[in-house]
Structure 1
Amino acid sequence: MQAFAPDSSVTTQRLLLRPFAPSDAGRVRSVIEARASFLPPGAPDRSSGVSRWLAQGVHELRRSGQGTHLAMEADGLVVGAISLFRTLWDAGTTEIGYGVHPLHRGRGYAPEAVRGLTRWAFDSTALHRIELRANLDNVASLRVAEKAGFVREGVLRLAAMEKDGPRDVVVFGLLRSDLS
């Protein structure tokens, strides 16, 4: 099994993409209490679960070999999260996803983080394809994909289930050769 290194981190112009750590507990608790949803899937919905999640849960994806969850840090503050997931090492593919704290949106952090993590993944692994999926009605995420250089490949009809019903999903792809 291949996997991402536990100490994997990426530096971009304004961001540090790094593994979540126990020192993030205060920030994560405040995010959960404010109901600001940008943390990776599996994040606790109550403050009482934060310590355990930071010690174990957030790192399970990496330990399984299927991806990694990273904190998106700007000026010493966790402003978002970014992940590689659904990694198929034999096929050379993975998917990227991200979330930015509502107070820090509109500053270009998401496309910068996506470009940085994508470049790092291609430079440090044998992966050759990264996918990004966004709901068709999520204009901000569609823009992030385009700004990060991903190619729109198609629409999966009614492929995502949201609280208010199914949504169409746009699939974007970026190949290692696209960066040459």
Structure 2
Amino acid sequence: MTARMPDPSVTTERLTLRPFAPADAGRIRSVIEARHAFLPPGAPGHPSGITQWLARGVHELRHSGQGVHLAMDADGLVVGAISLFKTLWGTGTTEVGYGVHPLHRGRGYAPEAVRGLARWAFAATSLRRIELRANLDNTASLRVAEKAGFVREGVLRAAELEDDGPHDVVVFGLLRADLT
């Protein structure tokens, strides 16, 4: 079964989770020039790619039916990004990932965004399970998963290979029934 993620419309206490738009070009330019790494996979590495990415690239995941990339907007400022990806409509599963601009970390934006997007996904789609994966040594992301209500399900040993070598990955899950 192939489906398409509906247009997201998510408002939390402090955030609006929304599709990236051409109006974000200036903010994205400053993020890229400062080499802050919180944008979704496929974000341009050079300012020359911003227009194309905002017009088409950042929306390809949604158009393919495999998920959605969204901006975390706080008071008109992009403070982070959040995505649903690896969506399998036949089994009703997806994975969530996020990143927060370094100047806005430690304010609780990530768990707020994850909770808000999970509630939206369960209300607006037939998804039944959302996974969140974090490196075992990434204590901030482990806290985000727990604060967002995800259940720690296990550790995948040496499952992620990064520049400094293999890392163990903690798998968290959230079921539709967990939010009732």
Residue 153 of structure 2 corresponds to 153
Give 3-state SS (helix, strand or coil) of 1:18's partner.
strand
- Tell me the secondary structure at the aligned position of residue 131 of structure 2: strand
Q: Post-superposition shift, 1:162?
A: 1.1
Q: TM-score, normalised by structure 1?
A: 0.98
Alignment-derived partner of residue 144 in structure 2: 144
- Tell me the distance in 1 between the aligned counterparts of 2:156 and 2:134: 10
- The aligned amino acid for 1:112 is E
Matches within 5 A, 1:41-56: 41-56=41-56
Q: Residue 19 of structure 2 corresponds to which residue in structure 1?
A: 19
Q: What CA deviation, in whole Å up to 9, does each residue of 1:43-74 have, x standing for no partner?
A: 01101101000001100000100000000000
2:5 equivalent to 1:4: yes
> Any gaps of 5 or more consecutive residues in structure 2?
none
The residue number in structure 2 matching 1:64 is: 64
Alignment of 1:89-128 (within 5 A): 89-128=89-128
Distance 1:9 1:68 in 2: 12
| 1:4-39 deviation per Cα after TM superposition (whole angstroms, max 9, x unaligned) | 12x422000000000000000000010000011100
Counterparts of 1:153 and 1:11 in 2: how far apart (Å)?
Answer: 28
Secondary structure of 1:116 counterpart: helix
Match of 1:84 in 2: 84
Moved over 3 A (4+): none
Match of 2:32 in 1: 32
2:36 maps to a residue whose letter is A
Structure 1 stretches lacking a partner, 5+ long: none
Distance 2:131 2:157 in 1: 17
Aligned equivalents of 1:119, 1:78: Cα separation in 2:
21
1:124-156 deviation line (CA, Å, top 9, x unaligned): 111000000000000000000000000000000
Code of the residue aligned with 1:70 in structure 2: it is: L
Matched position secondary structure for 1:14: coil
**TM-score of the superposition, structure 2-length normalised?**
0.98
CA distance in 2, matches of 1:117, 1:148: 10
Q: What's the C-alpha RMSD, in Å, of the aligned pairs?
A: 0.6
Fraction of identical pairs, as percent: 78
- Aligned AA for 1:178? D
Q: CA–CA distance in 2 between the matches of 1:154 and 1:11?
A: 31
Partner-residue secondary structure (3-state), 2:13:
coil
Which residue is 1:173 aligned to?
Answer: 173
For 1:160 and 1:47, the matched residues in 2 are separated by 29
